[in-house]
Amino acid sequence: MAATAAVFSGGLKVKAGLFAAQISSLPLRDHLPRCLFSSSKTIASVSRSLRVSAVNNNHRRSSWPRVSTFCTAAPDAVSPVSEPEKKVESVEEVEENVKETANLLDIRVGRIVKAWQHEEADSLYVEEVDIGEAEPRIICSGLVKYVPLDLLQGASVVVLANLKPRNMRGVKSCGMLLCASDSSHENVEPLVPPQGSVPGDRVWFGNEEDLEQLPEPSPPNKVQKKKIWEAVQPLLKTDDSGVSMLKEEHLMRTSSGLVTSNTLKNANIS
């Protein structure tokens, strides 16, 4: 606006000068207003006032809040991003995912080579268990109240092998014997693999045909981090014939047959 005022005032100066020169040559000069003959000074004064006013207006306008009007386009409204629809799994898909998760557990047939009473814990046995590896695993089990020691010697058992080792009163336990128990937990007994099974045989949930499609067992760190055992264990039970299963439909088996409990029916497995 300051530039506009300068141009305007410059134009006025030129016009005023020409007008004053023409008026001064007229005979009526003495009868005309005196302001017409001093218009150059007057216009110069007006010009300075306009420049000052323009500067002040610019300063004030820069501090005004920006207001949207009909000639100031408002920013486009941002449309909300719609979230993708969550896929609803069918009952069949949920059941299949449970089975796949359970088959990430490294469950194997084992044979107890030797068992003895833990020296520092009255409720624990210590067992050397052959699960098909180069050396037997040391496993601690809280079975003292439930199973006589002599019945464990040489027994075939089912072992959960991909748990992180735990220190059990000074003994490093590298696995867990899977057992059936009644609802009151007064009766507990180890699960029994089918006849013909040998130490190291894989135990899985499902059909015989699933053996060729079994995933590799998860490493112990992942089993712990993802809480795989904690997710699967509440779904394990025996039926009214003593057959072990996952969610009443995925049978627990080896290539030789089904895993069972000798005496506990409709029992929990842990």
Q: 89-138 pLDDT, tens per residue?
A: 454 555 568 999 999 999 999 999 999 999 999 999 999 999 999 999 99
What is residue 128's predicted lDDT score, i.e. its pLDDT? 98
CATH top-level class for 104-269?
A: mainly beta
Q: State the Cα–Cα distance between residues 117 and 138, nearest whole angstrom.
A: 13
Residue appearing with tokens 């306008």: 61
What are the residue boundaries of the structural domains of the chain, listed by start? 104-269
Q: Is the pLDDT of residue 160 over 80?
A: yes
Higher pLDDT, 224 or 64: 224
The CA-based dihedral angle spanning residues 223, 130, 195, 146, taken in that order and rounded to the nearest 10 degrees: -80
Q: State the Cα–Cα distance between residues 84 and 171, nearest whole angstrom.
A: 51
pLDDT, tens digit, for every residue of 74-86? 444 455 555 555 5
Name beta bridge partners: 114: 128
